[in-house]
Each structure stands twice: as structure tokens, then as C-alpha cells.
Chains A and B, each alone.
Chain A
Amino acid sequence: MENQNPPSPSPAHSPPALSPRARLLRGALCGFAACAVFAFAWSIPFQFASSSLLYKTGIFKVLLRGGKLCGISAALLAFFQILLVARLRFLERIVAQKRLYALHRTNGVVLAAFILLHGGGILEADHFALFPLEKRYWPEFLGMGLAALFLLFTGSALLRTRLGLPYQAWAGLHRFSAPGLLALLTVHVLAVSESFHAGPPRWFILALAGAALFLYLRILRRRFSPGRRS
């Protein structure tokens, strides 16, 4: 009989607690770092605006820029997802592992909402203009496929018990397909907008993808090394 529930974190493996003051300080530093990352990401549609924004006026400019901001936010949250479950000691000393997993789940829902807003904003800015089935629109079609997969991820996580999906099977699929999604997300972002074709926005996304890959390899190493933590 397969386990139907996620495993509880073991208190025996929890890192030593910090003093409240140190915890607050480190938490503030992490919060500041996250804010800096988001601030740079949100500056991209302004500082490195693609030419498509030049041809939009009024509400359609707001929709296009808003859609891009939502897309960038969704991408950042997707990369942050791996950070939350990477079992990083310094993070677990600030926020309990259980809360990090709860944050991972909440983050997934917010990420799904940003994906819907991203698609809606971008398409509405062009009056929902049709995309012909042509090879040159592959970054857009990749984005649509990714949106569907991310929504499936979130939906299956929220409805797992209702759908009767066994936890181990679901978690295995989730764990091993997530890096594929992040890789495809990186390709989509780098190819879909000229903002990411060169310069700091491109390096930024590549750095995030590199960090995500590093964290994922670290997770795998821990998982498959002898005497691993549960």
C-alpha cells in the first residue's frame, strides 16, 4: 500500500535553532535579497523594454507591460520553488522546513495565478490576435504548453487527495519533471522577448537557471547518497 500523505519533517534532523535576533537579521537579509531580485526583474519591461511596447498606447500598453511583469514574476516564483524545497540549512534555520514546504505550495498557487494573468495580459494587448501554426512562433507555443503544464502541476497538487493520486507516485513525477519545466521555461523566456536576447536580462535568467540546476543537482545528490536525510 503506497503512502497517501507527504512525509513529516523529522525534528531530529532539524538544524540547531538560532537566537530570535539572529533569525530576524538573517530573515531580513534573505528578504532583502529576494526584494533585490524582484526589483531587478520588474525593471526589465521598463529599462530593457522590447519594441512591441512602443506600439501600444493607453490601456493596451498597461496590459502588455502588466502581462510581461506577471510573466517575469511567474518565472521568478518558478525558480524560487526549487529554493524552497532544496533543504538549505541556512534557510531552514530561519524558517522551519514545514513552513518552507507550505510556502512552496502557496507559491505554486500564486505562480499559477501569475501565469494566467501573463497570458491574459499579453494576448489582450493584441486583441487576442490569432497565432498561425508556423514554426517561427515556437517560443509562443512553448509558452502556451508550459502554461498548461504548470497549471496541471498546480491543479494536481491541489486536487491530489480528491483525485486519489498516491503521494509517492505524484511526488516522484513532480520531482523529476520539475527541472524539465524549468529548463523549458528558461528557453521560453530567452527566446520569446527581445528584452532577453542580450545584456543583463539574459545573464539574469541564465544565472537563475544555473542556480536552479545547482540546487537540483544538490537535491539529487542528497537523495541518492547513502545515509541521506529523509
Chain B
Amino acid sequence: MKRMLMLLLSLILFVPAAVNAAEWKLDPDHTNFYFDVKHVYSTVRGSFPDFSGKVVFDPEQPEKSSFRFEVKVASVNTMVTQRDTHLRSADFFDAGKYPVMTFQSTGVSRVKDNVYRVAGKMTIKDVTKDVALDFVYHGEKVHPLQPKMMATGLDTRFTLDRLEYHVGDGKFYKMGAVGKDVDVLITLEMLRDR
């Protein structure tokens, strides 16, 4: 009887933890929010190195997963400081008024194999839109350099129309100088204790 009770108690205490999706910490040095945008004929590449986020992800139970990212607009970096100052200004991001871009997932599902669709709300400046991002899951393993940690990786690429998010009023697009379609690449490397 005592054994049965102990077994029941163990099940109550430990099974929910086992079925809960794991919370991962973003590795800031190996997580990137990149973007590419056309400038006349060339492509300008930039990134937002200042971000934070919370990712709960279980590839076996995607419905229990959730993603939240906050990206500091002022950190925009295209390797040209004058251009970055212009991007922070009211001509583009208006970083003083809208300092953060956010993404909050509303649902995660498996599309096929290692591809997962994360539906959610993306907020840039004063615009919030429902989007669905397809993430490629690269697996999970013991971190090669930190044996006490587990590492996982997810990538997504998508294109958004910056003018739909009021990033610019279209002046430079009409001039043929700066494109309106922005290719975004988000590469996440995340860690948790083993």
C-alpha cells in the first residue's frame, strides 16, 4: 500500500514536468535577427543585436510551445552609422516613439518533418499584424562546448512589406532608392540545463 502511494505521488509530482515543453534561453551571441533590403540594385544587410525573448518549445508537443521576442529598434546596425541614425529617425523606425518590435506567438503546429509553423502577432511601430512563420527545427543535442547544457536551433526566413508596418512613408521606395520588401532571417540558438 505504501509503495503504491509513493508511486502515485511520484507520478503526480514528476509526470507534469515531463510533459511540459522545455523553456529555452536565447544564446545572445549566436542568435541573430538579420534583414536584407534592396538599395537601388544592391542589397543592404543589417541586424538588430539587442533583443530578448522567451521560447518554450517541444518538438513532440508543438501545441504546448510559445515564442515571444522583443527587439530594440535603436540597435539597428547596417555597418554605416549615419545610415543607422537615419533608420532610427522618424523617416523609418522612429525609435524614440516606438523603441521595441515584438512578436508573440498564438499557436505552434508541425507542418512537416522538422518544419514548424508559429502563428502570432508581430508589432512594428503602431501596426500589429497576424503572421505565420515557418521555423526549421535543427534538433537538440548536448552543447559541444558546454557539456552541462543542451542546445537547440531554429531558423526562419520570411519577407515583409515595411510600408505595411509604416517603416517609411514610401518616399524612398517611389524614388527607386530603398526597396519595400524586407527579407528577414532569424536564427535562434538556445540553451537549457541538461
Contact = CB atoms under 8 A, between A and B. Distances in A.
B89 A51 contact: no
Interface stretch (B12-20, B57-65, B79-87, B105-113): B79-87
Contacts of A136: 81
A128 interface: yes
Interface hub of B50, B91, B95 (most chain A Cβ within 10 A): B91
Given A55-B172, A57-B171, A129 B88 contact: yes
A129 B171 contact: no
Given A50-B82, A136-B81, A137-B81, A129 B75 contact: no
B7 interface: no
A2 B75 CA distance: 52
A144 B96 CA distance: 19
A131 B91 contact: no
Contacts of B94: 127
Given A127-B90, A129-B88, A130-B88, A51 B95 contact: no
A124 B68 CA distance: 35
B118 interface: no
Nearest to A127: B90
Interface residues of B, number: 19
A130 B96 contact: yes
Interface in A8-62: 50-52, 55, 57
Contacts of B50: 132
A129 B85 contact: yes
How large, as a class, is the contact surface on chain A? 10 to 19
B96 A129 contact: yes
Contacts of B81: 136-137, 140
Q: Interface centre among A126, A129, A132, A134, by most B CB within 10 Å? A: A129
B100 interface: no
Nearest to A132: B74
Interface string A123-161: 000111111101011001000000000000000000000
B48 to A, nearest CB: 11
Contacts of A127: 89-91, 94, 96
Contacts of B91: 55, 126-127
A127 B89 CA distance: 6
B74 A130 contact: yes
B172 A131 contact: no
Interface in A86-134: 126-132, 134
Interface of B: 50, 72, 74-75, 81-83, 85-86, 88-91, 94-96, 171-172, 177
Given A52-B86, A129-B89, 12 more contacts: A51-B82, A51-B83, A52-B83, A52-B85, A57-B171, A127-B89, A127-B94, A128-B96, A129-B86, A131-B85, A134-B75, A194-B82
7 contacts: A55-B91, A126-B91, A127-B94, A129-B88, A129-B95, A130-B95, A132-B72
Give the 3 A-B residue pairs with the shortest CB-CB distance, closest first: A127-B90, A129-B89, A126-B89
